[in-house]
Each structure stands twice: as C-alpha cells, then as structure tokens.
Amino acid sequence: MAILVTGGCGYIGSHTAAVLTEAGREVVIVDSLVNSKALVVNRIEALTGRRPAFYKADVRNEQALAEVFETHPIEGVIHFAGLKAVGESVAQPLAYYSANIEGAAALLRVMQRQGVRRLVFSSSATVYGDTDIIPYTEDLPLQPMNPYGRTKAAVEWMLTDLYHSQPGWSISILRYFNPVGAHPSGLIGEDPAGIPNNLMPYITQVAVGRRPELGVFGGDYPTPDGSCVRDYIHVMDLAEGHLAALGLIEGSHGLFVHNLGSGRGVSVLEMVKAFSEATGQAVPYSIKPRRAGDLPAYWADASKALRDMNWRTHRSLADICRDAYEFQRQNPKGYVETT
C-alpha cells in the first residue's frame, strides 16, 4: 500500500517523502512543479535508496489524480500542494483561492470516489490570526488576517464538514509554525523562487554571498531585543510529525487537530546570532521599518501533539542553522537542473 504526497517535491513535502520512505512506506508524489523541481525526486532516491513514483500534475486535475489512484494502491494522502506566500496571496487572492481551496476540494472528491478516507492536511498557524493569547492552543478561534490564511481555514472547515457528514473519514489537520532547516545531508532543503519571503533562506543566501545583507523588519517591537519572535521548527522534526499523524489516523477514525512547533519563541536577532555561532558565517543585517501585518510574537503550545502522537521536536537551534547552511553551501544557487 502507498501514501500519496501531493506537493511532494516542495520544501516540507520532500522531507516528509524522505522520512516516509526511510520508514518503509511506498511513496507516490504528485506535484505541479509550479514552485518546485522534479530533480528533488532524484535527491530523495539518493538519500533513501528508493525512488518514489512521481507524476507531474495539478491536484485540480481530477482525471490525472484518478489515474494515479488507479495505478497505485493508495491507502492515505498527505496534502501539501498549494500556494503559501502571504504577501503574494494579498496581491493574487484568486490564484490562492483556486489553488488551495479548489485543489483540496478536487482531491477530496477523487479520494471519495476511490474509497480512500485517510488524510493528513498541511495547515498553518496563520489560521489563528492576531490574538494576545500566547502560546497558541488548538482551541483558539480561527481568525486569519490574509487570503493565504483564509484559504487554510476554509480547507479546515471543509474537512470538518466532510467528517461530520461522513464519519468514516480519518483526518489529521496539522498547524505548522515556522519550518526551517534542511536534511542534514544537504541534499534537500528550502529553495524559494525569487527573493525569499522567510527568514532562514534569506540568512543562508546572505551567508553564501547571494544577497548583501539581511533586512530585519522592525527593531522596536515589545520583545526582549525589539525584533519579532517566532516559533521555529526543524523541517525534519516537522516531517516526523507527519509520520506520527499518519500513524494516528491509521489507528483510529476521527478528526484530529494539532499544532506542530517547538513551543519556544526565538527572535529574529537571536536567530542571526545563533546562525553565526553555529556556522562561523557572519550575517550582516540592517533594521528596516516594520512590515505590515507582522505580529510582535507568537509560539506554539504543542503539548497536545505530545499527548496524542508522542511527538515533540528533538533538534536544536544550532542543528537548524547548521543544516540550513549545509544545504545552501552545497546548493548556492538552489536546485539546478544539471545536479
């Protein structure tokens, strides 16, 4: 039996596909390659000794998806495929509503027709929006502040309605905080298109000389050093969280919601310092004006994941920095087709 990983050539999807393969699972990847590269499949094979089946397809293409289900004995799905940049979602809301909501609906229709009822959904802490209650717990109301967050919340509501209409489904909703780092081999990691929207790939690109300096947006927040505080989680810990969630839904029917985070807040400037200490690479930076929509601080309460799935983070801030840098050092221009 196989696990379908949509968006499996992307950052989190590729690490999860590697973890699943190393755990002995058969993996089938569907990815449109809009924001990823097919050569990632080669890297997963190099890491694990086994090559996942790969199909280039958009999850909105129900015929293409159905053919994958008819070719492979799919027993469960981990759904990553979608668009994920907050700023881009504000500029292009229709693209986000189409890719993220229509894509999820198409996938669920195909799963329903094929009789597959196990799903792990890649959600986000952005669904919580602006709240003064820290750390974030799973019972907080959903009040997303941007189109990206609203698409994630909409899919969560869709899954909730589906489960209550057909209780035979077993669904895990995972709300990530800030994924960072890379596989320790340096073979797979985060390779954003264009200028990075996230902190760590920007830091690593500065470290290898692709960019002159890091811009720190805001130095006057009500935090210990004035920079924003976030909950950073190593992508390998996050990938292992998906394996744990898969085990949970395979063992019981239900609708499960879990935060995946470290449970610790780390400031931007603290991360810059940790990176320099872990790698020996200086990261020049300058303080820029605050960025609209940024919250001063938030982090996860991930105790529910520990209780329900026996999952917690194991990798340190130094591990995050070393692994992220190793990927960037080996791939200074990101994934290139000649590799």
* Catalytic residue flag (residue 335): no
148: amino acid identity, one letter: Y
Residue 51 per-residue DSSP state: P
Radius of gyration, CA atoms only, the chain: 19
Question: What DSSP element (H or E) covers 217?
Answer: strand 214-217
Query: Which residues on neighbouring strands pair with residue 77, listed in sequence order?
Result: 4, 119
Packing angle of the helix pair 103-114, 62-71 (nearest 10 deg): 40
- Name residue, tokens 């200490």: 277
Cβ contacts of residue 164 below 8 Å, gap of 6+? none
Cα distance between residue 125 and residue 84, in whole Å: 12
**What number of H helices and E strands is found in the chain?**
12, 13
Task: Give the number of C-alpha atoms closer than 13 A to the C-alpha of residue 324, restricted to the C-beta side.
Answer: 36
Alpha-carbon distance of 26 to 17, in angstroms, equals 9
Q: Which of 11, 128, 136, 148 is catalytic?
A: 148
For 74, the 3-state DSSP assignment is strand
As a whole number of angstroms, the distance between CA 325 and CA 286 comes to 20
Q: State the burial class of residue 240 (Cβ atoms within 10 Å of its Cβ: 0-12, 13-18, 19+).
A: buried
Residues forming the active site? 148
